[in-house]
Amino acid sequence: MKKFLLPMLSVIAAAAPIVLPSEMKASTHEKTLGIGGGFATYNHAGFGKLYFQYTFIPMVRIAPEIGYVFPHDDISGIEASIDCHFPFRVAKGFKFYPLAGVSVNNWSLSGDRHILRGGFDIGGGFDLYFTQSLKLSIQGKYSAMKDCGGAFIDLGIGYVF
């Protein structure tokens, strides 16, 4: 077993400097601007969002977004968050990412009442690259907040530059 594993490990170690930098270099400084929409569980309604993503080091990107939650049962809202994604390649053109971040939600209730809360996001998603400049994202996250926490599940399309 040693006679088989040691040569294999030496080949992998020798090839790593050739393969890894090109893979890492391709995703560093990648920027994406996109739109998305989905479902918010707090008021059981749809929402739309605008997002930006910036990969500043390999496998770490920052992703601010702002969205509007459509009215349902006299509740609507505005959601803003800054999340960190940790994408890694599963297959060519397909990435998975866990996420964590902070968010602020401003919920408008009937009778001119508002709930403004801050909290933390946790979740994950998938990126499917159609081309080098177009990708589809599927994301789910839970915003943990006092009195108005809920999940956001969405589908987005983004321009990669």
Which burial class, exposed, middle or buried, applies to 158 when counting CB atoms under 10 A from its CB (0-12, 13-18, 19+)? buried
In a domain? residue 64: yes
As a whole number of angstroms, the distance between CA 32 and CA 157 comes to 9
Q: What is the CATH number of the domain that holds 42?
A: 2.40.160.20
For residue 78, tell me if it sits in a domain: yes
In a domain, 131, yes or no: yes
The pLDDT tens digits of the residues spanning 128-140 come to 999 999 999 999 9
With respect to residue 19, please indicate whether it lies within any of the assigned structural domains.
no
Q: Tokens in use for 76?
A: 């609507």
CA 66 to chain centroid, in Å, comes to 13
User: What is the Cα–Cα distance from 131 to 146, expressed in whole angstroms?
Assistant: 41
Distance in angstroms (rounded) separating the CA atoms of residues 10 and 49: 48
Task: Kindly state whether residue 92 falls inside one of the protein's structural domains.
Answer: yes
The structure's pTM equals: 0.81
pLDDT at 7: 52
Rounded mean pLDDT, 27-54:
96
pLDDT digits (tens, 9 = 90+) for 73-100: 999 999 999 999 999 999 999 999 999 9
Does 1 map to a domain?
A: no
Q: Which residues contact 84 (CB under 8 A, 6 or more apart)?
A: 60, 61, 62, 63, 99, 100, 101
> Does residue 76 sit within a domain?
yes
Question: The domain containing residue 134 runs over which residues?
Answer: 28-160
On the question of pLDDT at 27 being above 90, the answer is: no
The domain tally of the chain equals 1
Q: Evaluate if residue 157 carries a pLDDT over 70.
A: yes
Q: What is the DSSP letter of 27?
A: H
The residue-averaged pLDDT of 154-159 equals 98
138 within domain boundaries: yes
